[in-house]
Structure 1
Amino acid sequence: MQSQKFIVDAMLGKLARWLRILGYDTLYSNTYEDWKILKIAEENDRIIITRDRGLCVRARKKGLECFLVYPTEDFIDILTKLAIKYKIDLNADPNFSRCTECNGVLEKIDENRWKCTKCGKEYWKGSHWRTIENILIRARSKIKNNESRAISSG
């Protein structure tokens, strides 16, 4: 189980699902207002991820960790930056993934199937898993390229 916990604003639902796939406890609702995000982050020691600059400024004034996503950023770039900043493991393992719908913990049913202990949704390692892996490979590759550039320029 991953140690960092996140709360993601309404504009970043796709990112919330990806963090859950990677096994990170990630709260998300498209109905959360800014005050609610700040309150939850403060009470539960969660990192706020947002596209809302104003929310990020208010969070930082309260001493809360906030990661600002720029609207022009590509999804792979966002994953890469989060991985570098928060030491996120960009390897997906369904045995440690969380439910993409409700953030519940998954329980293994058999070799290739998992069930959410909270909402009951079932997951399996089908062809979509290849797509997930390909995106993560691209993000890991970007990190390696950034590290290589840093070493060669240092």
Structure 2
Amino acid sequence: MVKDRRYIADLMLMRLARWMRMAGHDVSNPPEGADDSDLIEIALAEGRTLLTRDKLLAKRCEKAEARCILISSSDLDEQLSEIEDAGIFLEPEPVRCTLCNGLLQEVVESESCDDPRRPEGGPALWRCESCGKLYWRGSHWRGIRDRLKRRDS
């Protein structure tokens, strides 16, 4: 199973990209206004595998010798299964921001958290180094873990 490969998702797969980030994968967002040629160039320059549902883009990647995974389904659970079928490990691991792909840094207890949804003295807290978004393992964490593990049975 692959764990250390880097990816770039096209706009059609931004939801899949967020779920892959929840599993610790480095999945960058396409730059604003990027076209297919830009995505291929980024994939080649940064050593990323392009994730797409666009068959023509996948063929262009092949011609350019860029790594690409063509996802056929529009259903998230089926997309996650396709990713696992491609040998990509999906286990919840809070190391990347689901929004911007930035690295998460654990917040030490002396730092304040002004988010009212997180209970005082609650579970571990992480902050994105890039955008500042806060994360913690709340009641939603079980649902995330269950969805990522659903394909094991």
What TM-score results when the alignment is normalised by the length of structure 1? 0.81
**What SS does the corresponding residue of 1:120 show, helix, strand or coil?**
coil
Equivalent residue pairs, number: 136
Instruction: Indicate yes or no: 2:51 matched with 1:49.
Output: yes
Counting only pairs closer than 5 Å after superposition, residues 1-154 of structure 1 correspond to structure 2 as 2-29=3-30, 31-70=33-72, 72-85=73-86, 87-94=87-94, 97-110=95-108, 111-141=123-153
The code of the aligned residue for 2:125 comes to: R
Query: Cα distance, 1:137 vs. partner?
Result: 1.8
* TM-score using structure 2 length: 0.82
Cα separation, 2, equivalents of 1:73 and 1:139: 17
Separation in structure 2 between the aligned mates of residue 68 and residue 88 of structure 1, nearest angstrom? 14
Structure 1 unmatched runs, 5+: 142-154
Alpha-carbon distance between aligned partners in 2 of 1:41 and 1:59, rounded to the nearest angstrom: 9
Question: Any conservation in 2 of the 1:105–1:116 contact (CA below 8 Å)?
Answer: yes
Question: Partner of 2:77: helix, strand, or coil?
Answer: helix
Moved more, 27-36 or 101-110: 27-36
- Secondary structure of 1:7's counterpart equals strand
Q: What residue identity is the alignment partner of 2:4?
A: S
The Cα of 1:16 is off from its aligned counterpart by 0.8
Relative distance call for 1:31 and 1:15 in structure 2 (3 A) is: farther
User: SS at 1:100's partner residue?
Assistant: coil
Partner of 1:151: none
> 2 CA distance for matches of 1:130 and 1:108?
20
Superposed CA RMSD in Å reads: 1.6
Corresponding residue for 1:148?
none
**Secondary structure in 1 matching 2:62:** helix
**TM-superposed deviation, 1:35:** 1.1
Q: Which moved more, 1:31-40 or 1:53-62?
A: 31-40
